[in-house]
Amino acid sequence: MTTELAPAPASTDVILRLTDVHTYYGAIHALRGLDVEVRRGEIVTLIGANGAGKTTTLRTISGLLHARQGSVELDGVDITKTEPHVLVTKGIAHAPEGRRIFSRLTIYENLLMGGFTRNKAENEEQVAHVYELFPRLKERHAQKGGTLSGGEQQMLAIGRALMTRPSVLLLDEPSLGLAPILVQQIFRIIREINDRGMTILLVEQNALQALSIANRGYVLQTGEVVLSGSAQDLMVNETVRKAYLGED
Ligand SMILES: Nc1ncnc2c1ncn2[C@@H]1O[C@H](COP(=O)(O)OP(=O)(O)O)[C@@H](O)[C@H]1O
Ligand SMILES: [Mg+2]
C-alpha cells in the first residue's frame, strides 16, 4: 500500500470554475471561451489591457451578465444562469469598478446597505470587523460617502462587499485612480483580508502590484486567456512586462 505524501487537491478545493465561457453584450462577443479556476484561499488576479474583458468576467461570475455558452460553477454547483441577488446569498461578493457607493449615505449606512442579506446582530458584528480592517472608516463612520477621498471610497466599497460574509470576493480595479501611497495601502489590506481566509479574485491593470500579492494569475486579451501561471512566473514574463509597461 502506498501513502500519498502530497495528495492532489480535492476538486472541492476549486471554489470557482469558469469553463469555455462566452459572454456577449448584444452582438459584441466580449468573452471568447474563457477557462479560469479559483481555489479556496487563493488570491487569483486577472490582468490585461483596457477592454480585455476583466470586468465582463467578474460580471459573468456575479450574475450581472450570463454566459451564452460555457459554464460558471461555484463549489461544483452550476451558477451560469443564477441571478445576482441569489449569488450574494451563496457567498459571492462583488466590489464593482468605480466603487458605486451611496454618496448621500454615511459610511455606516453604506455598510448596512451591503449587509442586506443578514440580520441586525450579524451586521453589527460585521461592521465591527470592517472597522477593524479599516480604522479610517471607523473614524469617519458618520461622514457621507460623497465627501470621502478616492482611497476612502475604495475602502468603503471593499468593506461593503464584506458585509454579506462572502466566501469569494471579486474586486474590480481597487487601485484605480488612487495616489501611490494609497495603492500600497489597498494592496496591503487585500493581502490581510486574504490572510484571514478570504478567497479573492482580483482584477487589475496594475499587473505587477497585483501579481506581487497573488498566488496565480491569468492574462486576458480581447476576451481570451493568453497566458496563465503562478504569480511568480508571470511577474518575470516578458509579455506581462511589456503589457505592464504599456509597450504593447
Ligand atoms: N455595456 C457594454 N456594452 C457593450 N460593450 C461593452 C460593454 N461593456 C464592455 N463592453 C465591451 O466588452 C469588452 C470587454 O470590456 P471590459 O470587460 O469592460 O474590459 P476590461 O474590464 O478588461 O477593461 C470591450 O470590448 C468593451 O468595449
Ligand atoms: Mg474593467
pLDDT tens, 40-87? 999 999 999 899 999 999 999 999 999 999 999 999 999 999 999 999
Q: Identify the sign of the CA torsion 98, 244, 15, 62.
A: positive
Ligand 1 pocket, residue 52 CB under 6 Å: yes
Atom number, ligand 1, closest to the C-alpha of residue 48: 22
Domain boundaries, the chain: 14-98+168-245
Rounded CA separation 220/235 (Å): 15
DSSP annotation of 120 reads H
pLDDT over 70, % of the chain: 93
* Ligand lying closest to the C-alpha of residue 57: 1
pLDDT of residue 99: 78
Ligand 2 center to 9 CA (angstroms): 31
Which residues on adjacent β-strands are paired with residue 217?
45, 229
Structure confidence at residue 248 as a pLDDT band (50, 70, 90): very low
CB distance 30 to ligand 1 below 6 Å:
yes
pTM for the whole structure: 0.92
All three cell numbers of 191? 493581502
Ligand number with the minimum distance to the CA of 220: 1
**Probe residue for ligand 1, chosen from 23, 56, 221 as the CB with the greatest number of ligand atoms within 8 Å:** 56
CB 15 within 8 A of CB 133: no
CATH topology of domain 14-98+168-245: Rossmann fold (3.40.50)
> For 17-21, 31-35, 152-156, 241-245, which range has the lowest pLDDT when averaged over its residues?
241-245
CA of 181 relative to ligand 2 center, distance in Å? 22
Tell me the residue type at 71.
S
53 CA → ligand 2 middle, Å: 7
18: confidence class by pLDDT, cuts 50, 70, 90: very high
Average pLDDT over residues 217-224: 95
- DSSP annotation string for 25-88: ETTEEEEEEEEEEEETT-EEEEE-STTSSHHHHHHHHHTSS--SEEEEEETTEE-TT--HHHHH
Check residue 206 and give its pLDDT: 87
Give the tens place of pLDDT for each residue, 82-102: 999 999 999 999 999 887 899
Of residues 181, 185, 239, 161, the one with CA closest to residue 207: 239
